[in-house]
Every structure is written in C-alpha cells, then in structure tokens.
Structure 1
C-alpha cells in the first residue's frame, strides 16, 4: 500500500453528563478534524450536545454523531442483545437528536461513528452492521460512516453505497484478523505513548499493523481515533500531531 499523505483525526467528545465531567474537549479541538459527539445514551445530555457542537464549529471541526447502547452506568461498553430492528431504532433516535442540535446552530452532520460495544459488535456481526448502516442511509445517504478498518461495518456500508472512513487506533492492539483486542484482555491498550506513535506511523507509512500474535496485517487508514476520555489525551494529541508533521503527513 502507498504511504498516506494526509489523514483525518477524530475524537469521541461530549461525554459529560449533568454534573459529571468527562474529557478535555475544548483543549483537544485544535488538534482534531472530526468530533464524534455522544448522543445521550452512553453519555452526554442535551446541553452538552449543544455546547459540544458549538465548540466544534469554532474550530471548523466536522460534526459527527456517536450513538451507542443505552448504558450510562457502563459507558456503553457492555454488550446488549438487541434485535436488528431495535438497533436500527436506537441509531435513528440518537443521530436524529444530534442532527437537531446541529440544525439549531445552522450546522450539518458530517458522519456517524458507533460507540463502544455497539461498534465492536457491528465490526463482526453482519446483521448488526446492516441495521446501523440502514439507519444512517435512511436518515441521510450523504453521511459518512466511520468504522473499524476491514470490518463488517465497513463492508456493509460499501454495499449500501455509503461513503466510509476506515478507522485505525494508535492506543489499541490488534488481532491477526485485523480486529481490536477486547478490552477485557490485559494487552488491549497500548499505554506507552511512544509505542502508540510508532504503531500509527507504521500504519500510515506502510499500510500494515503488527498484531499481538506478531503478524503484519494489511490495514486501510482514513482516520485516526483519539480517545477523549483518556487522562493523557491532550498530551498524546500534541505528540501525534508533531509526529505526523515530521513525516509530512497532513492533518485534514
């Protein structure tokens, strides 16, 4: 694969709720190009959604919906057994809510990225992937779907005719089949910033990622995820920005 000359950087945002605060959204906005804004199910609330959209607009950051399972206590990271129709409905409900918030500020949605357990299940289960894709398509077929590179979600969106951004992660480890190592396993997170930077540069320069099994796996990268709930997110965003500039990879 050819080296990347440019890349989108996205970040999960708007995940505060009521008096409970999560992340350092405003400080991160200058370092990213796309914001995935929680829609009230796994995190977020109406005023947080409005405020996050408004802040993103100030920095000319693309606005995306970040729908997840209705699981505030588990932050949307616990699996739920829902039918495809139920998943279709929860995506329509949440994306519609954020679209309405954006409309009041005279802005449009750019993309949709599922959150947490919903994202991971859709990466491997075609029925769940199709339900999410159909919901997005029926809301607005011009929306871009952000999904795990090489996943069922990406394949489903392409079959439907949606535009896609294949997403890669700097701070997550990969399995031999290109899936992310489950968070329940000890080696799922890359905790050293230097190691995470090296992984993302390898992906962008070589088009490959090294799995935990030691294999080189082909990978497509259109957007990099920065986790806004990471306590060191701002420091990491600064480091990755500098690393990309050093290798003449434009952030856009």
Structure 2
C-alpha cells in the first residue's frame, strides 16, 4: 500500500491541528514535524494562516491544509449532507486560501488532513472517501492525504494506491479509542486524554508495540506514520515537549 515518505528516520512523526485561534500554537511548533492548518471552514482566516505558515518556516515544520465542512458555528464537528459539487467547491476554496498564503511565503503545501466530522465521516463512508479521493486526483497540486490509521478500510487504501495518491496514516496521542478503531465521541467526558502521562503512555504503545489500549483495556493494532496532538488540549504543550524526545529514541 502507498505510504508517505518521512522526512526523518523516526518511526513516528508528531503533528498537531493548528491555526484555530488558540494561544498554545506558538509553543507547539518547535516540537512538531507537521502542522495541519485551519483554512476557513471551521476556523482560521488570512491572518492566522499567515502566522501559522511563518511559524512552520521558522521551525522547519511540514505544512498541511486542514479543511472541514463549512460550519464555523459548530467548529466543523457536525456532519453535513453535501452534494458532490458543493463538497468539491468548499475543499477547493479552503485549500486554495492556504495555498495562496504558502505561495506568498515561498512555503510548500505538502498534505491534506480533513477536520472534525468530515475526517470521521470519510473514515466510515467509502463513498465519501471516494468523492474526496476524486477531488484530490483532480486538484492541480499533488498532496499527500493524512487519514486515520485504524478506521480506513483496506478497500479505501487500495483505491488511493490505484489513484496514485500517497497516504500518511495517523494515530492520536490524546484521544480514547474504541475497540473498533474509531475515536470515542467528544460528547464523552473521557474522549480526550487530559493527563500528560497517559498521552506519553499511549504514544509509547504506538511507537514500540504498534497498538493503542482502547476503552475496556483491549489492545487495538495501529500502524501509523504520524501521531497527532490537539492544540485545544491543555496538556498538549507539555506533552509535545516530552514527545519530541520520546519519539527521537528507538
């Protein structure tokens, strides 16, 4: 299957979803390999994108576009029924916003990572996956697609490989997994790990045993290229500082 080529020899890269108007962003960039930058659908505007791109350049962080359903009122965390035309239009509009900022800064735009409900819907819905894949094939800039390491089916991976779209498989450092590989819904009070020690332990499982311990204590196999911290998690900054060292070890 097609997998992303890492820019380092580390078994796992570290990424975060940024540019969403949070004060923690600048403290995260020095520890990241990849930054998925909000480009207007759920959060972000020209000013936040410009600051984000400049920070990526300053710390040699790979830049990704982080589009969502066009739903700022619900932060992109509500599923929306969209026609193929409307979906293509919003993806193009959002990614082009960030692309323009990148071009002005002479910074490469490297990958796509969907946000929120759209990310989760694509991991469960083969038809929606195919629609986004078709858009990526038609988009005039080749982009790596960051997708869930556990929830993306073999059929989806095969389709991406046949289309020539490279995938970056992502796991989550600070989210509770279900035994089926899906993330626990954010409506659950335990959905986000608030403890730095728990986050570090989950990444240790991913790094050395290629698994996560899901709800109920069951181990779920996860083979990932990159692990994500969420910028809106208060534990993220301290965890990122330690993960930079932890992921650098064999």
Q: TM-score, normalised by structure 2?
A: 0.88
Cα offset, 1:5, TM superposition: 4.5
Cα offset, 1:88, TM superposition: 2.3
Cα offset, 1:136, TM superposition: 2.2
Offset from partner CA, 1:173-206 (integer Å, 9 cap, x none)? 1112211111122332222221121111111101
Cα offset, 1:140, TM superposition: 4.3
Equivalent residue for 2:212?
Answer: 209
Which residues in structure 2 correspond to 1:149-228 (within 5 Å)? Answer: 149-152=149-152, 155=157, 156-228=159-231
Cα offset, 1:86, TM superposition: 2.2
Which residues in structure 2 correspond to 1:35-184 (within 5 Å)? Answer: 35-140=35-140, 142-152=142-152, 155=157, 156-184=159-187
For residues 147 and 220 of structure 2, what CA distance do their matches in structure 1 show? 17
8 Å CA contact 1:209, 1:219 repeated in 2? yes
Q: TM-score, normalised by structure 1?
A: 0.88
Local SS of the residue matching 1:190:
coil
Supply the RMSD in Å over aligned alpha carbons.
1.9
8 Å CA contact 1:11, 1:225 repeated in 2? yes
For residues 32 and 164 of structure 1, what CA distance do their matches in structure 2 show? 19
8 Å CA contact 1:13, 1:23 repeated in 2? no
Structure 1 unaligned segments of length 5 or more: list them: 17-21
Local SS of the residue matching 2:14:
strand
For residues 46 and 211 of structure 1, what CA distance do their matches in structure 2 show? 38
Local SS of the residue matching 2:73:
coil
Cα offset, 1:141, TM superposition: 6.1
- Give aligned pairs, total: 239
Which residues in structure 2 correspond to 1:3-18 (within 5 Å)? Answer: 5-16=10-21
